[in-house]
Structure 1
């Protein structure tokens, strides 16, 4: 009788121990909200590096697109699939789905990385509203979805307008043409695009300027940016990555022979560079605002010594920096980013 009782007690203990261990393992979950894998660059995509690093740390990784986010009452959820990489993503993304698509609530995850590339259109904004519906005591969302709506990448940091080239935002053709005349050479760009899309450079005497303004402003109904051309773009621009408001690393981007844009997405080339004092000065101006908004991992772009934008949606460049600086092991930027995220979660 005593033996049976002991056996029962011991069996119950083992069952509880097993369930507790299972719960601990299952609690190490991370959701990546991102573009489909066939839309990302296997060699250069930052999100893939973050996913590989989380897998090495024992997290169960889940994937979903922004169209797979939803609400049930006040609770946000994702229709997502678990996956595992077979090797470090390089020339192609080799992974396997571990299960079919399933519905998991945001609070089932330790971390959610919102890594959908712009444009910041209505679908993107809707996704951030849905991502708001998580319990911050249970789940850390990077970056803060509320703040991603606030911090427009081309407009938000103009509280420090002295850091920028001269900039006009307007839908009025007359105002834009006058600004272009005063600037002599002007850069026109849409407010909600990214990756160099829709950016044009004109002399104020260019006969195509007026027509371009009509197209970009949709005949005076949509504001655009007119920014003074910074000649140093011929030598490339610099992407500086910030983590917790501090400089994490920097990357020089050189325009191709047939394009004025240095963005890697449109054929720009990556080159080694260093964080300098001007970069640190800009970071110091941004840091208190970034910290207040919960914008932990961001990037800003500099031409010459002029700030041009602050990327808060899906900053990239860590893999290029890793390669150019021959980083390995714990010095890889994705490792430093995950160290930071785990410290925040504690």
Structure 2
């Protein structure tokens, strides 16, 4: 099958990224792979959907680094592709990092919808991704699974919320990812609250979230596939992300470190609480961040750290993901037009 990976741009991709892990696994399984960016779609006058894509050579690579080097090399040039010939389009971009080019933020969603109309399996479902383009989507999950949250641009609202929680809250932007613009308020930093509000508020709405004490131990990144925790023989695709001593952010590229973690009843209960919503929305591959018995984030666009989860668990979690994608293609062929993309995404 042909799998197209939609990303922000190649310059911001790396060999260890989850997208590379999945693309490398796909090509090692004999599938054709291509990469597309927001610049690459073409809707023709005859209403056919085409594009310009980068096709790495279809061969056995000695490792992921060699595959990535091929992808980045001058040999891997743009080639035309008819989107109707793509079996799976995987939307792996992060809209928040395209804030300086706002036209690019929803390109994957817009053309993903067009691709789905033409019979392409689009993961995750683009209609639902359109509703999840900022962190407000998080509020649609059961309150039992969420830390108490306020979303506002009003300074007095935030100060009242901080007072109610004894100045023990987290502040972050409604739009954003990777720990950008995240502040921890406590008694020692309360004099800086005005500056925090100003710094975050200039770019939009502010999320104020009750601090969960268990966050001192870091958060747990857990992958869900087809709505359920991804596992191989009882080993879960998960890790604990621990912040550095001088930073509250546990994101790996923000200085956090990855550690092996055991997934128990608490984490599985949280995952089950949010499963119905993810399934209803056609969210195939999701990364959730858990602290204690609460979820802090639900990453439905480009959840990362799959390679680290595999390394720590001693298994390759990209294998069941590709197997699931292969199965979806089989179902689509066996049940021609019987399922819409949102349902097919989680079958």
- Answer yes or no: is the 8 Å Cα contact 1:247–1:275 preserved in 2: no
The answer for the alignment partner of 1:210 in structure 2 is 194
Please give the per-residue CA displacement for 1:26-49, whole angstroms capped at 9, x wherever unaligned. xx211111143442332x311111
**2:22 maps to 1:39:** no
Instruction: Give yes or no for contact 2:95–2:133 (8 Å, CA) kept in 1.
Output: no
User: Which secondary structure state, in structure 2, belongs to the residue aligned with residue 119 of structure 1?
Assistant: helix
Do the aligned residues in 1 keep the contact of 2:171 with 2:209 (CA within 8 Å)? yes
Q: In 2, are the aligned partners of 1:163 and 1:307 still within 8 Å (CA)?
A: yes
What residue number does 2:122 align with? 141
Instruction: Compute the displacement of 1:56 (Å).
Output: 1.2
Counterparts in 2 of 1:101 and 1:93: CA distance versus 1, 3 Å? closer
| Deviations 1:230-276 (CA, angstroms, capped at 9, x unpaired) | 22222110011000111012111011122111100111111001222
Task: Give the equivalent residue in structure 2 for 1:263.
Answer: 251
| Deviation (angstroms), 1:149 | 1.2
Shift of 1:141: 1.1
Equivalent residue number for residue 116 of structure 1:
93
Alignment of 1:195 onto 2:178: yes
Matched with 1:9 is none
Q: Partners of 1:125 and 1:257 in 2: how far apart?
A: 36
Matches within 5 A, 1:173-322: 173-184=155-166, 185-203=168-186, 206-218=190-202, 222-248=204-230, 249-322=237-310
Sort the Cα spacing of 1:196 and 1:92 in 2 relative to 1 into closer, same or farther, 3 A. farther
Question: 1:239, 1:299 within 8 Å by CA — same for their partners in 2?
Answer: yes
Runs of 5+ unmatched residues, structure 2: 231-236, 331-347
1:52 aligns with 2:52: no
Partner residue, 2:50: 77
CA distance in 2 between counterparts of 1:98 and 1:32 reads 18
**Contact 2:95/2:106 (8 A) holds in 1:** no
Q: Equivalent residue of 1:103, what SS?
A: strand
User: Partners in 1 of 2:271 and 2:50 — Cα distance?
Assistant: 35
Distance across 1 between alignment mates of 2:105 and 2:42: 13
Compare CA radii of gyration and give the structure with the larger one: 1
Residue 91 to residue 180, structure 1, CA distance change in 2 (3 Å): farther
- Find runs of 4+ consecutive structure 1 residues off by over 6 angstroms: none
1:93 match: 68
Residue 7 of structure 1 corresponds to: none
Aligned residues: 312
- How far has the Cα of 1:225 moved from its partner? 0.2
Aligned to 1:24: none
Normalised TM-score (structure 1): 0.84
Q: 1:92 to 1:337 in 2, by over 3 A?
A: closer
Give the deviation of 1:210 after TM superposition. 1.3
Residues 285-342 of structure 1: per-residue CA shift (max 9 Å, x gap): 2222212221110011011221111100011121111111111xxxx11110011111
The TM-score normalised by the length of structure 2 is 0.83
Deviations 1:123-176 (A, max 9, x none): 221331122102457321111111111124632232312211111000111101
Structure 1 spans left out of the alignment, 5+ residues: 1-27
SS of aligned partner of 1:261? coil
Change (3 A) 1:138 1:278: same
